Chains A and B, each alone.
Chain A
Amino acid sequence: MKPTLTMFLSIFTVLLFVSCNTDAKKQKNTNQSTTSVVDKTKGQAFIKDDGSTPNVLQIAIGSPDHTTLVAAVQAADLENTLVNAGPLMVFAPTNAAFDALPEGTVANLLKPENKNALANILKYHVTPGNYSIKLLKKFKKLGQANNQYVTVEVIGDDVYIGGAKIIASIKAGNGIVHVIDKVLLPPTKEN
């Protein structure tokens, strides 16, 4: 049930094509057919706005505990997605959570050729929605931005998302950031 990251990566590219056969015959993965160059001067992420409540991206950027996450978001060109009106709920693994991954995993993911795999993992940390801890307890699972589901468990007073514990929550201008103690790894099969 808990695939390791290396396992995931090794079958990720295969999965893209295998999954085509599951639902309808003619599906194709479309992420790769149109890799476009991202202009990092355009888009909402690059608007100067000191007056508004910080959005989820700005919160992550401002956190010394999330430098790895921010680097990953930038490598995957997801900045503009995270500043959208959303609402967006971001599960933000700490640097320590990334450090707990097998040696070399993060460096590997940050390579340009792994951009899609990285984006998929990062999107698995994002829910279209804005739910406090209290509201999260009403869910058994959440539909994530990469189109897969992640489980929600309540153990005592704590809420666990895909096995990762929420250790802090920060309200954002366009949603909420829940800090988690593990990196979420997308399941290898659609629920």
Chain B
Amino acid sequence: MIAVVITSCNNGNSSKSKGALSSSAAEKVYIAPGEHDEFYAFLSGGFSGQLAVYGLPSGRLFKVIPVFSVDAEKAYGFNEETKPMLNTSHGFIPWGDSHHPDMSQTNGELDGRWIFINENNTPRIARIDLTTFETVEILEIPNSAGNHSSSYVTDNTEYVIAGTRFSIPIPQRDMPIKDYKGNFKGTLSFIKVDPESGEMDLKFQILMPGFNYDKAHPGRGKSHGWFFYTTYNTEEAHTLLEVNASQNDKDFIAAINWKKIEAYVNNGGGKKIAANYAHNVYDESTHSATSTMKKEVIMVDPADVPGAIFFLPTPKSPHGCDIDPSGEYIVASGKLSSNLTIHSFTKMLDAIENEKFAGDAYGIPILNFEDILAGVVEQAGLGPLHTEFDGEGNAYTSFFISSEVVKWKLGTWEVIDRKPTFYSVGHLMIPGGNSQKPFGKYLVAMNKITKDRYLPTGPEVTHSAQLYDITGDKMELLLDFPTVGEPHYAAAIPADLIMKNSKKIYELEDNNHPHVTKTPADVKVIRNGNEVRIYMTTIRSHFNPDNIEGIKVGDKVYFHVTNLEQDYDVPHGIAMIGAQTSELLIMPGQTETFIWYPKLVGVWPFYCTDFCSALHQEMTGYVRVSPKDSDIGLSWGLGEDDE
């Protein structure tokens, strides 16, 4: 007796409940030529290290913002101005693993100013300015490894937080790995965000037991002032974690009263300990980044701040830790479970108030599971990972193993709908889903497995995202769209909160780059020993200068190129034959620099790499390279022979 096969052929997932009013999926995602999408969506690039900007509902890719990895297209990490952005205590790191974007908020609502994203491998947090869509700040996190439970933002962007997935010796030292238990530690980092400039400052770290701090979310509304982190490997295993970290029935959610700890630190609490971590800031005025090594951090021992940290027992190696818009429910996804566990913030406070503790772990009180439990979504699916909220009292959870999104109701814990994903969904995202005010119109599922969804492209296929309409009782699959790298999480915001602030050009007048060239009269080439600096400008459709002589083999040649254009969307590029770096892509009013080491005698061309104008093909120049011992002096010009 084999399965009952009934196929609902016409696009399988269409909502029947809406009857004649229901429009087709194609109409719902169609943005007519020249029209704009309703939402910006920012999908992390995962192992690409970047952050991709899409429109919803169309799924069109607008930009890939380079964050933690070099990007030859935009010269990020190749030009002299942005190299400091990728400086760390380990030196220059050309790659990162970007994970969880989260947007700045005011009063628990998205304010469209900045987006933050964490780097998992060499622990860092970046801030992207949403007027320029450029990475403007990267802060390295000391005493951290596997910066995974990051970079989530509190109701008023007071803090962006980070946590360690891997515990390590703190401070780092040479010791046997087998002595992990009790000796390795995790840290939770609270990074203060300047309310005006957005600049980040590592205010304090909390020294936690050597568990794996996996995911986190801030309390909001009634639970504002708290932060919640899932943990796994409370067994403190250091090898074969797939066996040894799967022994305990329950791990913990760590509940952190950060306001209490902040007050403690403000009153001089915590120990200043030596550290070494990079703080990299891009200055829009100089179009240049600087990297500063910071040498100290305030470390808080939980034992010194009683009543600030508690453990909430939570089944089966929980992954996602998601807080509903009201701040009452703490949703934990035990990734080896088929149930979802929901803790109550109110019950948690009550248990704390009455000191109903089941014991402690390294001095941190453990609450009773039964005392704090709000409910369980039973047998919801297999392998739950992440939950988002629509602001209408519904929650949506991704299930990796059963490859589906399940919609369920907060408070009654009943399942309302389930839809397959294609395939093996990881993260979900509803615009504003990590805030008090979600925009519950669309749900984006970010899948880990693609297989046959697109035309095959060899063994490696793009990760796939899926867009669902969630305005009805039943979810409706509207669209598949390919993504960059591996999107671990995403954030989205109504377009009108950002687009009006989007910068069009950089004012040339305000350009304070130390090697700017603002007028043709300032164009020059200067030699200092074997170091040559070319102060060059671009405007449609020439470089100035475009003929340069007197360069010698063995020189170090700086091209400081200023784009004199003041028109929206007229960048110029430049590439030099044999330069062991990328092109530059220079926005109007901006100055960028690349270095060229001429190795061969000859006359070598350079050209504009961005089709700028009808005479783009004419936008070229030559550099004459003479032997090292040549006595040909420097000369340069533009159109000299014609005069």
Residues of B near A111 (CB, < 8 A) are: 1
Tally of contacts, chain A with chain B, CB under 8 A: 135
Residues of B near A39 (CB, < 8 A) are: 7-8, 12
Q: Which chain B residue shows the least CB distance to A75?
A: B3
Q: Is the CB of A80 within 8 A of B418?
A: no
Q: Is the CB of B414 within 8 A of A28?
A: yes
Residues of B near A74 (CB, < 8 A) are: 2-3
Q: Is the CB of A131 within 8 A of B1?
A: no
Q: Mark B365-383, 1 if CB is under 8 A from A, else 0.
A: 0000010011111111011
Q: Is the CB of A24 within 8 A of B1?
A: no
B242 interface residue (CB < 8 Å to A): yes
Residues of B near A29 (CB, < 8 A) are: 378-379
Q: Is the CB of A30 within 8 A of B7?
A: no
- Once the chains are docked, how many angstroms separate the CA of A73 from the CA of B450? 24
Chain B residues 3 to 25 lying within 8 A of chain A, measured CB to CB, are: 3-8, 12
A88 interface residue (CB < 8 Å to B): yes
Q: Mark B400-412, 1 if CB is under 8 A from A, else 0.
A: 1111000010011
| The residue from B6, B376, B383 contacting A37, defined by CB atoms under 8 A apart | B6
Q: Is the CB of A27 within 8 A of B376?
A: yes
B424 interface residue (CB < 8 Å to A): yes
| The residue from B3, B335, B412 contacting A26, defined by CB atoms under 8 A apart | B412
Chain A binding surface, main DSSP class? loop
- Once the chains are docked, how many angstroms separate the CA of A139 from the CA of B246? 9
Q: Is the CB of A77 within 8 A of B3?
A: yes
Q: Mark A9-49, 1 if CB is under 8 A from B, else 0.
A: 00000000001000111111111011011111111100101
Q: Is the CB of B382 within 8 A of A110?
A: no
A128 interface residue (CB < 8 Å to B): yes
- Once the chains are docked, how many angstroms separate the CA of A37 from the CA of B9? 11
- Once the chains are docked, how many angstroms separate the CA of A77 from the CA of B5? 10
- Once the chains are docked, how many angstroms separate the CA of A47 from the CA of B6? 19
Residues of B near A58 (CB, < 8 A) are: none
Q: Report the minimum CB–CB distance from B453 to chain A (whole Å).
A: 10
Q: Report the minimum CB–CB distance from A68 to chain B (whole Å).
A: 11
- Once the chains are docked, how many angstroms separate the CA of A74 from the CA of B375? 32
Q: Report the minimum CB–CB distance from A85 to chain B (whole Å).
A: 5
| The residue from A28, A33, A34, A40 contacting B7, defined by CB atoms under 8 A apart | A40
Given contacts A71-B1, A80-B420, A135-B243, contact A30 B414 (CB under 8 A): yes
Q: Is the CB of B423 within 8 A of A43?
A: yes
Q: Is the CB of A75 within 8 A of B1?
A: yes
Q: Is the CB of B370 within 8 A of A23?
A: yes
A145 interface residue (CB < 8 Å to B): yes
- Once the chains are docked, how many angstroms separate the CA of A160 from the CA of B53? 52
| The residue from B2, B6, B370, B402 contacting A75, defined by CB atoms under 8 A apart | B2
A125 interface residue (CB < 8 Å to B): no
A54 interface residue (CB < 8 Å to B): no
Residues of A near B3 (CB, < 8 A) are: 38, 40, 74-75, 77
- Once the chains are docked, how many angstroms separate the CA of A172 from the CA of B416? 35
Residues of B near A34 (CB, < 8 A) are: 415-418
Residues of B near A40 (CB, < 8 A) are: 3, 5, 7
Residues of A near B240 (CB, < 8 A) are: 135
Residues of B near A33 (CB, < 8 A) are: 414-416
Residues of B near A62 (CB, < 8 A) are: none
| The residue from B12, B373, B415 contacting A30, defined by CB atoms under 8 A apart | B415
- Once the chains are docked, how many angstroms separate the CA of A36 from the CA of B419? 9
Q: Is the CB of A139 within 8 A of B12?
A: no
Q: Report the minimum CB–CB distance from B396 to chain A (whole Å).
A: 14
Residues of A near B246 (CB, < 8 A) are: 129, 143
Residues of A near B449 (CB, < 8 A) are: 44, 84-85
Q: Is the CB of B451 within 8 A of A30?
A: no
Q: Which chain B residue shows the least CB distance to A26?
A: B375
B339 interface residue (CB < 8 Å to A): yes
Q: Report the minimum CB–CB distance from B448 to chain A (whole Å).
A: 7
B179 interface residue (CB < 8 Å to A): no
Q: Is the CB of B243 within 8 A of A139?
A: yes
A3 interface residue (CB < 8 Å to B): no
Q: Is the CB of B415 within 8 A of A81?
A: no
Q: Mark A139-178, 1 if CB is under 8 A from B, else 0.
A: 1000101110000000000000000000000000000000
- Once the chains are docked, how many angstroms separate the CA of A129 from the CA of B249? 15
- Once the chains are docked, how many angstroms separate the CA of A135 from the CA of B376? 31
- Once the chains are docked, how many angstroms separate the CA of A143 from the CA of B422? 26
Q: Report the minimum CB–CB distance from B401 to chain A (whole Å).
A: 5
| The residue from B2, B338, B374, B380 contacting A145, defined by CB atoms under 8 A apart | B338
Residues of A near B370 (CB, < 8 A) are: 23
Residues of B near A2 (CB, < 8 A) are: none
Residues of B near A38 (CB, < 8 A) are: 3
Residues of A near B337 (CB, < 8 A) are: 143, 147
A123 interface residue (CB < 8 Å to B): yes
Residues of A near B543 (CB, < 8 A) are: none
Residues of A near B282 (CB, < 8 A) are: none
Chain B residues 296 to 350 lying within 8 A of chain A, measured CB to CB, are: 316, 335-339
- Once the chains are docked, how many angstroms separate the CA of A74 from the CA of B2? 6
- Once the chains are docked, how many angstroms separate the CA of A27 from the CA of B370? 13
Q: Is the CB of A36 within 8 A of B418?
A: yes
B277 interface residue (CB < 8 Å to A): no
Q: Is the CB of A85 within 8 A of B414?
A: no
Q: Is the CB of B379 within 8 A of A24?
A: no
Q: Report the minimum CB–CB distance from B474 to chain A (whole Å).
A: 9
B413 interface residue (CB < 8 Å to A): yes
- Once the chains are docked, how many angstroms separate the CA of A74 from the CA of B5? 10
Residues of A near B448 (CB, < 8 A) are: 85
Q: Which chain B residue shows the least CB distance to A46?
A: B452
Q: Which chain A residue shows the least CB distance to B419?
A: A36
- Once the chains are docked, how many angstroms separate the CA of A37 from the CA of B419? 11
Q: Is the CB of B338 within 8 A of A146?
A: yes
Residues of B near A110 (CB, < 8 A) are: 1
Residues of A near B415 (CB, < 8 A) are: 30-31, 33-34
Q: Report the minimum CB–CB distance from B340 to chain A (whole Å).
A: 10
- Once the chains are docked, how many angstroms separate the CA of A37 from the CA of B374? 31
Q: Is the CB of B338 within 8 A of A30?
A: no
- Once the chains are docked, how many angstroms separate the CA of A23 from the CA of B379? 14
- Once the chains are docked, how many angstroms separate the CA of A152 from the CA of B415? 33
Q: Report the minimum CB–CB distance from B196 to chain A (whole Å).
A: 45
Q: Is the CB of B417 within 8 A of A84?
A: no
- Among B335, B412, B414, B424: residue with most chain A CB under 10 A: B414
List the 3 shortest-distance A-B pairs measured between CB atoms, nearest first.
A30-B415, A147-B338, A74-B3
For this complex, 21 residue pairs linking A to B, each with C-beta atoms less than 8 Å apart, are A23-B370, A24-B376, A26-B413, A27-B413, A30-B377, A30-B378, A38-B3, A43-B403, A44-B423, A74-B2, A81-B402, A81-B403, A84-B400, A84-B402, A85-B423, A88-B401, A123-B338, A130-B242, A135-B243, A146-B379, A147-B339
Could you tell me which A residues sit within 8 Å of B by CB distance?
19, 23-31, 33-34, 36-44, 47, 49, 71, 74-75, 77, 80-81, 84-86, 88, 107, 110-112, 123, 128-131, 135, 138-139, 143, 145-147
**In the complex, given contacts A30-B414, A33-B415, A85-B424, what are 13 additional A-B residue pairs having Cβ atoms less than 8 angstroms apart?**
A26-B413, A27-B378, A30-B413, A33-B416, A43-B423, A44-B423, A75-B1, A85-B449, A123-B338, A128-B382, A129-B246, A135-B243, A143-B246
